[in-house]
Structure formats: C-alpha cells, structure tokens
Chain A
C-alpha cells in the first residue's frame, strides 16, 4: 500500500528527510480509529465518514488521522443493502411524481404509498431503497479489525513507500542474495551491484510519468527488503516537489525494522491455482481486479485490457474475474447452500476472492435479503424466482 501524496508527513532539515512515522505514542489514536470503524459496522458509509471527520478534531495532525483511515479502509467491505432494487424504486417514484408533482412532505408520502403498493413493500422500504446504491449510503458490512500496532506499522510502511517514490538515487544493502530484489531494482533504473555475503545495489532512478507505477515497484521492493535478516536503504529524495534539491533519507532494520509491516507477498496471495488445460491469465484464474491493479500500479480498466490482450476468456462478477472453470467451481460449491445465512457462505466466497458477497450472489441469481430478526447481519439466501 502507498499513501496518497497529500497525506505524506515528513520533516525536511538541511541535510535529511525524515518521514514522520507513527510511534507507540499514537497507539491511542489507532485504537480510537479502530473503535470508530467497529462502531460503524452495519451503518452507512456517510455515518462512518462523519465519525472519522470528528476524529480529526482530536488534536492529532489531520494528515496522520487520514493516513491511518486510508489504511483502515483496506480492512472494510462495503455493500448495498436494500429491500428493493434501488434503480427500480427511484424510477417508479419519479414516474409517479410526474402524475402528482411533489412540493410538500405530504405529497411525497402519497407518492411513496402508491409506489409501495406497486412493489408490495412498505413506504419506509421504498424510501430507504431509493438511493441505497449511492457510495454514501452503502453499508459497512464487515470490518476485519487489525491490531493497533499492526495498523501503525502498515501506515509507516505506506508512508515510507510514498516518500521513496520521490527518490532520484537509491542504495540498498542486505545479507545474501535475493533475485526478486535485484529484478525490482533493475526495473527502477540503472543499477550497479557488488558484494558477496552482503549485497549492495545502487540505483539511478529513471524519471517517470506515472508515480503510481513507481510506487507499486517500491512497495514490491520494500516488502521483500524488510523481510531480509539485515538491511538498510539510503535514498536521495526530492520531496516536497516544490524544492528541486534532494535530501538524504536513511532507513535501517536496526532503527526502523520494528516500525514497518508489509502486506503479504504478491506471489503468496490468496489464490491457489490448480494447473488446468485451458489457457489462463498470468494473473491467475480468479483475479480480484482492485487488488491486482493496485499491486501493479494500474487501474482496474487497464488491468482488464491487459487480460483481454492475453486472449483469455473470463467472466466478471462484482469486481472479480473468473475463468470458466473457477466459476463452475464456485457455482458447484454454492449449490450446497441454496438457502441459509450469508455468514455460512462467506468463507466459501472468500476463497474465490470475493470482497462483496452480496454483489456476487446477486450476479449468480440469488436474492439477498435482510433477515427477520434485529440482527442486521443475518441474511436469507434463495434462488431468484422473479424480479420485482
């Protein structure tokens, strides 16, 4: 992960550039933010945003607060929750409102009642469903709560990657050899390498148009570097960009190792790909677009183009591309749970890279509804028999 440029926090002195890492004294803030997310599970995105905006008044640098929430967003799953299909509900409302224009609340209520009758639902359901698909209205259905220390470490890692993206010269040292590190440094610029028991690589970085691609490469490099037994890096970074001259950034395992935590290696990601006779993409048989695109520093659309160029047949469901074989597997597994709670199938779906279970299930012809009880996380699943 890489922090957006506007959230970078550094101190620039005459000689050095020091990223403002989040230390133990920020554990309280980390706990507060995590608690805020937890408290907003099953609530609307806009409620969460409002609660987080209040956290910016806690006395901490707002860039730190936003940086931590940027990381925490990665632990969240949002989904549309509505009793009725939102587009259908609002289209009917607009159509009915052309017959008797709405100026007062009572006019609106009359239209709501008529549409509710048509859709065999309550007025409240119609009203709530109307714009349930808006980003702000989507609900936080799952928050995989991280450990507060882990949050700070992930933040520090993302901050360091962001600052390193402005490097002009980079030198790294580590024990032994690592071909992945060598490959990544070579893609960043012209390298010179020396050492036998300790490897030292100097990189003259190529100027780039797209900082996101460079950021992704630094993320890849740093992930591997900090997994080494001993390591250090020195960078000449031109940041903030309004200054043309560079400052030295020095990071070592001894001083910073315990501050940093990387995501899993890309090649150890969640998918287990069995060999199959049909042609598959180099990105796997289940491609979670958002994740892979972010890892390689391109947009979802660009990733789809790359996969299309490979000439591989895929089906796209809710932000995930499935090979025909894996889609069949998924359908087969779901057959065993024709009816039940969402939590029962969540594990199955997660195996298939699904972040948004409701969207996938609906794409596969299921209807996802809120349960009868007060537990908002309880859902029934049944085969779609008719559309409303």
Chain B
C-alpha cells in the first residue's frame, strides 16, 4: 500500500519499497482525487487535522450569498468569491466553515483584520479561536493568521487544516504569500475579495492556488436590494492660477524629457522602467522629480480644499469619510477643518476611539489616506469625498464600498474631486474602469 507523508511544506508518496516521490503540498487534493479515481489504496499519514467541535452559527444567508456557497460546494470546496465591500463576505466564509465542519485556517492581510475575524468567529461559533501573528502563536482547530505568519509557519502547521480561507485573496499572488498556497495541504480553499484586478498572470496563479472564480457580483448587481443606492459626482476643480503655472512648468519638464528620449509611457511597466532609469540617469531623475511635484500640486491643490469647505458646509449632517492619497493632505485638512484623522501613524487605541465616535455619531466626519481602504471595519457613512487617490480600480471600489451599507431611505453620494486639465483626470478615468 502506498502511504502519503508530510514533510515541511511538501507531500511525499511512499511506495511499498519505501521509495518516495515528492510533491507540493498544494497537490495533495489532486493526489487523493487521482487515487480515488484509479482505485489505488493509499494510506493518508500526511494530514493531521484536528476535529473541531460541531460548528453552528445562527447567521442566515441572503440569496446571493447562498448562491455563492452552492457554487463553492459544486467545485469541490475550491474557488474564489468576489463580492463588494459591505455585502457580507465574512458570513459566506462562516457558512463555508460550517458546511465542511473542518479545522480551518483563515489568512488575513493585517493584524486589525486578524482581531476582527477572531472576534467574529468566536461570537458566531462560541468556541475559542486561535491566532497566529503579532507575537501570538496559538494554534487551534479554527485559527486566524496573517499572511506573513502563515508563510513563516507553513513547515510546521501546513498539515493541520482541511480548509483554508484567504481573506482579501488578491494579496496571495506575491512570491512570498504564494508559499502559503503551495505549502499547506488544505484540500478545501476559499478566496474572498471585493476586487480581483485584471492581471492575467495573477488570475491564472490564483486559479492554480485557490481555484476558479466561482461567483462574482459587482456593486451594481446589489444596489437597491442589498446595498444602498448611490450617486458618483466627479467634480473638475480648476487649480489656482499660481498652482496652474507651477504645474504646467513642472509637467512640461517631464514631457520634454520623454519626447527628447522617444520614451512612451503606455503602461505601469513603462513607467516603472522610467523610474528605474532615474536611478542612473540624472536627466531622467530631474524629469521624475518635476513630474512628482506637478502631481503633488494636482492631487493636493488648495483649490480642492476650498471646494471641500463649501461641500461640507452644504452637507453638514451627512456622515462623511474623506479620502486622500497622501498623509500630508490628511493632516493639513485635519488641522484646518478640525476633522479627526486616521493614518498609519495613528495608534490602534486612538484609531479605535475615533471610529467608535464616528460610529456613534459624535464625530460626523473623519479623514484618512489609504489605511482605511481595506482591512479595517469602518462604520457606515452616507457621503465620501475622494480628494485624491491612485489609478487603482480596487481602491476606488473599496472606497465606494464604505458608503454602501444598506439603510432604509439612505442615498449615498461619493464626490470625486479632480484637478481640471491635469494628469489627474486620466488617473480618475483609469480607476473607474471595471475589472
């Protein structure tokens, strides 16, 4: 009889003559399936998954959540579910755990999410939940881990879980994180995200590591029924005359350089090559710095702040989240308009306090850069103002998702402020292109 063995992130098939063939742990499920199909006798000494107590939660699934779960079941408990922020991905995951009644590892990108997941699982199933990350190493049948810790401990715990759930699964296809997919046996896999991106390489890697995209709903699919109705208002704000002069001057330095060298920037890769060039070519560096200054003016213009003042005055009672790209603008606005700010420099205690006060309505407005884009449970708001951002569609969808939680009679509005006649207009178009 052949025997399956586990060895630090790999699975071995040992035949009767003790010869061993080595495979990636990710191939475990294929080996089991193939052995079943061929009718081969195979003793599984690789998987040492503990049995959790019976897991049952009182959550009721919405129709689309039910559909997503059925789709996952049909593909042999493997696959990726794409649902907008605020539409209840976590509930689907809880029901997936309940469905398999297996030891499960939930992998999350941040420590904040780790805490949130642990709390949710403990409240839902009334069991102790382990955690791995932030200096804690407590492994239980249900364990929440950061991506980083899951990589580090793959060799020692990779054979303990039958189910692995990747929250914000778009974080998985990096050289480091993909080791989790490769080094854990878990035959059942579920990926969750609001936006997957559209890089063919990433999508193909995710399919190999987690499974196919089995269910997808866009914001538009759920608006009105499960998500709030919303309006997006893009406002073209002219730069102040002095800002415009400076912008044109700086941007022309950048453009002239590209023209003089015959460089075309058509994609992110082209831009990256230009940035790399600036490391050894002083002219390229001058052009890069000029472009950065120009973009800084466009993204953080005084004119936008003036517009914001009037916007807030016109909507004094809306619970509003302001988003920027740079911390500098966060703190400028926080100082000028006395609005609580959350950035990476905000301590967890202060952040919690600000979000609690925002939730309870003491604070009507908060301002943040990119830290609230994902990974933090942000209270519902009815208005968002994107003062600046990247060209990423994922960021755009995540920011929009912050105002879409359904409430009776709610009409959410997202204002996008874009500096007129600047390169920011292209960035604005790019981020609104769907996957």
Q: Which residues of A contact B (CB under 8 A)?
A: 6, 61-63, 87, 90-91, 93-98, 101-105, 108, 111, 127, 130-131, 134-135, 301, 305
Contact = CB atoms under 8 A, between A and B. Distances in A.
B60 interface: no
Nearest to B282: A61
Given A91-B353, A103-B313, A134-B331, 11 more contacts: A61-B282, A94-B363, A97-B339, A101-B313, A101-B316, A102-B337, A111-B338, A127-B335, A130-B335, A131-B331, A131-B334
Interface in B320-340: 331, 334-340
B331 A93 contact: no
B410 interface: no
B354 to A, nearest CB: 8
A301 B133 CA distance: 12
A240 to B, nearest CB: 10
B409 interface: no
Contact of A94 (B279, B309, B340): B340
A98 B363 contact: yes
A97 B135 contact: no
A97 B331 contact: no
B318 to A, nearest CB: 12
Contacts of A127: 335
Given A98-B364, A103-B309, A108 B338 contact: yes
Q: Most chain-B Cβ atoms within 10 A of its Cβ — which of A90, A101, A127?
A: A101
Nearest to A96: B338
A130 B337 CA distance: 13
A101 B315 CA distance: 11
B135 A301 contact: yes
A42 to B, nearest CB: 21
Closest 6 CB pairs of A and B: A97-B338, A102-B338, A103-B313, A94-B340, A103-B309, A102-B337
A46 to B, nearest CB: 9
B377 interface: no
Nearest to A60: B282
Contacts of A61: 282
B135 A305 contact: yes
Interface in B288-345: 309-310, 312-313, 316, 331, 334-340, 345
A62 B353 CA distance: 42
Tell me if B's interface is mostly helix, strand, loop or mixed.
helix
B316 A98 contact: no
B350 interface: yes
* Size bin of chain B's contact surface: 20 to 34
B264 to A, nearest CB: 22
Contacts of A94: 338-340, 363
Contacts of B285: 62
Contact of B337 (A6, A90, A103, A301): A103
B362 interface: yes
B339 A63 contact: no
A8 to B, nearest CB: 10
Contacts of B334: 131
A63 B279 contact: yes
A95 B340 CA distance: 9
A88 to B, nearest CB: 11
A96 B362 CA distance: 11
A302 to B, nearest CB: 9
A93 B338 contact: yes
Nearest to B151: A209
A344 B124 CA distance: 58
B213 to A, nearest CB: 32
A73 to B, nearest CB: 18
A194 B57 CA distance: 69
A130 B333 CA distance: 13
Contacts of B362: 95, 98
Nearest to A104: B309
Contacts of A63: 279
Contacts of B282: 61
Given A98-B363, A98-B364, A301-B135, A131 B335 contact: yes
Interface in B27-57: none
Nearest to A131: B331
A248 B362 CA distance: 65
A62 B362 CA distance: 47
A337 B32 CA distance: 74
A103 B312 contact: yes
A128 B309 CA distance: 22
A40 B279 CA distance: 28
A87 B340 CA distance: 11
Given A94-B339, A134-B345, A101 B312 contact: yes
Nearest to A94: B340
A207 to B, nearest CB: 14
Nearest to B309: A103
10 contacts: A62-B285, A94-B339, A98-B362, A101-B313, A101-B316, A103-B337, A108-B336, A131-B334, A131-B335, A134-B345
Contacts of B279: 6, 63
Contacts of A108: 336-338
B229 to A, nearest CB: 26
Q: Most chain-B Cβ atoms within 10 A of its Cβ — which of A61, A103, A104?
A: A103
A91 B336 CA distance: 15
Nearest to B336: A108
Contacts of A111: 338
A286 to B, nearest CB: 22
A112 to B, nearest CB: 9
A87 B337 contact: no
Q: Most chain-A Cβ atoms within 10 A of its Cβ — which of B285, B316, B337?
A: B337
A354 B24 CA distance: 50
B345 A135 contact: yes
Contacts of B309: 103-104
A54 to B, nearest CB: 12
Contacts of A135: 345
Contacts of A91: 353
Contacts of B336: 102, 105, 108
Nearest to A97: B338
Nearest to B314: A103
Contacts of A131: 331, 334-335
Contacts of A130: 335
A294 to B, nearest CB: 19
Contacts of B331: 131, 134
Nearest to A61: B282
Contacts of B338: 93-94, 96-97, 102, 108, 111
Q: Most chain-B Cβ atoms within 10 A of its Cβ — which of A94, A96, A97, A134?
A: A94
A362 to B, nearest CB: 16
Contacts of B353: 91
Interface string B239-282: 00000000000000000000000000000000000000001001
Nearest to B340: A94
Interface string B207-245: 000000000000000000000000000000000000000
